């Protein structure tokens, strides 16, 4: 989420329906839901969202799932700096 917020602060289009704003809102909702109580629950949520009929949700999950798997495996993320 921090990376999306960093991108948002640099974005010039600050509309409510800006794709980056939608990503942030979806991710914030997932992180705040009481149903997501463990890393496995969060991964399940991402996998379910990847198959969603909501294109925006599916694209977000498709983007986040590889990052989530890398983070859980202890590998670095592509946007992290040394």
- Per-residue model confidence (pLDDT) at position 62: 92
Note the Cα 82 to chain centre separation in Å.
22
| 60 within a domain of the structure (yes/no) | yes
Q: Encoding tokens for residue 12? A: 């010039």
Q: What is the reported pTM?
A: 0.66
| 79 within a domain of the structure (yes/no) | no
Residues 8-30 as b/e (b if ≥16 CB within 10 A, e otherwise) read eeeeeeeeeeeebbebbebbeeb
Nearest CA among 53, 50, 56 for reference residue 69: 50
- Domain holding 57, by residue range, is 2-72
Summarised one tens digit per residue, pLDDT across range 30-81 is: 777 766 788 888 899 899 999 999 888 888 899 999 999 998 998 887 777 6
| 25 within a domain of the structure (yes/no) | yes
Q: How far apart are CA 32 and CA 66, in angstroms?
A: 21
Total domains present in the chain: 1
How confident is the model over 14-40, as a mean pLDDT? 76
- Per-residue model confidence (pLDDT) at position 27: 84
- Per-residue model confidence (pLDDT) at position 12: 61
Whether 16 has a pLDDT exceeding 80, the answer reads no
């Amino acid at each position: 989420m921090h990376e999306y917020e960093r991108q948002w602060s640099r974005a010039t289009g600050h509309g409510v329906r800006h794709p980056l704003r939608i990503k942030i809102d979806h991710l914030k909702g997932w992180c705040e839901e009481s149903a997501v109580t463990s890393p496995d629950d969060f991964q399940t949520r991402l996998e379910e969202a990847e198959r969603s009929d909501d294109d925006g949700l599916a694209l977000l999950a498709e983007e986040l799932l590889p990052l989530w798997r890398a983070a859980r495996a202890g590998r670095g993320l592509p946007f992290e700096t040394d």
